[in-house]
Amino acid sequence: MEKVGIGVIGCGNISSAYLKAMTSFPILDVRGIADLNRDLANQRAAEFNLTARSVDELLSDPAIEIIVNLTIPKAHVAVAMQVLDAGKHTYSEKPLGINFTEGQALAAAAKAKGLRIGAAPDTFLGGSHQTARALVDSGALGIPVGGTATFMCPGHERWHPNPDFYYETGGGPMLDMGPYYITDLVNLLGPVSQVAGFAIAPRKERLITSEPRKGEHIPVHVATHVAGVMAFESGAIIQIGMSFDVAGHKHVPLELYGTEGTLIVPDPNHFGGQVELLKKGGTFEPQETTQPYADGNYRSIGVADMAHAIRSNRPHRANGDLALHVLEVMEAFQRAADSGTTIKINTKTERPAPLSDSLNDGQLAR
């Protein structure tokens, strides 16, 4: 199949994982990378034997069909709009935007131009999460009833060299980590219909303990501990907790409860991990991972699926409708906290098709 030309804008921390994983997918042809910090772009280009170019050069290159947008969250929509204006498809790191309004504007612009938008996370396409999806689809849980989604840590200022954006508008644990959990839940259960929630910020500033800025204090502008409930159109009710304020905990990342069983789903920030199933009256048993892409960090499989979809004229899975729905759900927790009411979710999205529908001998094929 003819390769799809790729340009990458943003050469920060996450770009290494993307560029390394892109070598796993023959359909992707990375034709250049760019960053406002040209030294950083040159460094990343040398690391991966690529060419550092300007943003304008990437946008004007007719051989590039998809721009992968790895800028910081508050720049996601502005950069994506530039990409659409250049007549190219865009795939953004999560979240799609820092608020639902700008996400809607991006989706409308793409539709008007007849172009595709995609967005991380694509971890739900990993082998363990697709195995969990197959178990749910097989009826192993009976009727889905409920579950829990939990991410809690002390904060990213412990390890990230420049953690400021985690505490700015567009950051916080819900918009930073929520996309992994909520996207995987939509993959497993379908779309969300209502949200209730509470949100607090116990500290007004954070102390950086990572290098090179160890000892600096940064202000907090967002809620850093969010708890809530999601009601799904399928009828299931999921409790969620996202926090940058918890020293440690013993919750698993995702549990799903059904009338006939309980499913343990591994960390949705990774592609692999152990899936466990308890059938009513039994005990938890490890499940064999039956789907590929569970043995590494395939952070760009969503881009590869999008490229194959362009060539085959089919929907791609980490698509704009899914990302916009997840963004509306995440924003709804703060709206629920502010208003003291339950928030109805208005966007609609389909469960992405199982990845097995586009595999040939365990690899993306069409």
- Tokens 């209730």, residue? 196
Omega prior to 121 cis, within 30 of 0: yes
Neighbours of 234 (CB within 10 A): 15
Here the tokens at position 209 are 């303990």
pLDDT in tens, 64-107: 999 999 999 999 999 999 999 999 999 999 999 999 999 999 99
How far apart are the C-alpha atoms of 72 and 145, rounded to whole Å? 37
Residue 284 near residue 2 (C-beta atoms within 8 A): no
pLDDT in tens, 17-51: 999 999 999 999 999 999 999 999 999 999 999 99
CATH topology of domain 126-287: Dihydrodipicolinate Reductase; domain 2 (3.30.360)
Task: Parse the chain into domains and list their residue ranges.
Answer: 4-123+298-320+347-364, 126-287
Same fold, 4-123+298-320+347-364 and 126-287: no
Q: Report, as ranges of residue numbers, the positions in the chain whose pLDDT lies below 50.
A: none
Please report the pLDDT score of residue 362 as a whole number.
Answer: 87
Please report the pLDDT score of residue 366 as a whole number.
Answer: 64
Please state the three-class secondary structure of 163-205 as a single string. Answer: HHHHHCCCCHHHHHHHHHHHHHHHHHHCCEEEEEEEEECCCCE
We find that the CATH architecture of domain 4-123+298-320+347-364 is 3-Layer(aba) Sandwich (3.40)
How far apart are the C-alpha atoms of 215 and 208, rounded to whole Å? 6
Please report the pLDDT score of residue 211 as a whole number.
Answer: 96
